[in-house]
Amino acid sequence: MGLKVALIQADIAYGDPEANYRKIEREFEKAAADHPDIIVLPELWPTGYDLARLDEIGDPEAEQAVSFLSGLTRKHQVNAVAGSVPKQTKDGTKNTMLVFDTSGRLVKEYSKAHLFRLMNEEKYLIQGDDNGLFHLAGHPSAGVICYDIRFPDWIRTHMVGEEGKHTKILYVVAEWPKARVDHWKALLISRAIENQCFVVACNRTGADPNNEFGGHSIVIGPWGEIIAEAGGEETILHADIEIEDVDKVRESIPVFTDRRPGIYKL
């Protein structure tokens, strides 16, 4: 079964939710015009990395973002892995991925499990503890955020066990810096090969006062082959993926059958 994805690789206005909501609405409309099955947004698109002001510009319980994204997905009858937003909770602010179906229903929330100290996330955010598993467009999927991809045991957790053993697509939303964009590509290809799954990864582009971001949003197949890749500019990356390819690869090289978790010691 074919699946059409559209990744919105956008620049993000630093600390300006109003401008970012307007921009994402425009870009979402453009992406939806091509009638994809799923639209993917980047990490922290409402605010960028203006973390020090999240008490002021964060989204209480993500209510604004949920209402906005629910309306867009329902209007365009499209599923969305809608990036992540700064969700203010009673315990602190979380970097939270939001996933919606074509009816505008919130299917999943996943809060970033691994906070990136090089960008001071641990000073302003609290980590999540739940997995990123969900079903979308009829397919078992998983979603993680940026730095999470440096933890292969966390990704593998989403591919094994009763909940994760049928996962076929890994969605990644990010604000990955340009200085390490070679790591971005290498890590994502590795996660696709070792888990024999599709990887659909949406990164931002542009810059803020402290960082330059790498773009290069990418869609990778279960053999590790690059299906589509953006450059460093703002764009909407489109790709078609064939979900059945996951089963073919897993039958060809039965990695999951041949695992010996009983002898793996961490």
Please list the active-site residues.
Answer: 43, 112, 146
DSSP-derived pairing of the beta strands 198-203 and 169-174 = parallel
Torsion of Cα atoms, 159 then 194 then 44 then 126, to 10°: 60
Helix or strand or coil: residue 200? Answer: strand
Distance CA 145, CA 83 (A): 8
**Where are any strands of DSSP class E within 52-189?**
59-60, 79-89, 92-100, 106-111, 133-136, 139-145, 169-174
CA distances from 111 to 19, 146, 160 (A): 24, 11, 20
Q: State phi, psi for 208 to the nearest 5 degrees.
A: -125, -175
- Rounded-to-integer distance, Cα 127 and Cα 96, Å: 10
Task: Supply the DSSP symbol for 213.
Answer: B
Residues 6+ apart with CB under 8 A from 91: 126
CA 94 centroid distance within chain: 15
d(C-alpha 156, C-alpha 167), whole Å: 10
Spacing of C-alpha 111 from chain mean position: 11
Give 93's strand partners: 88
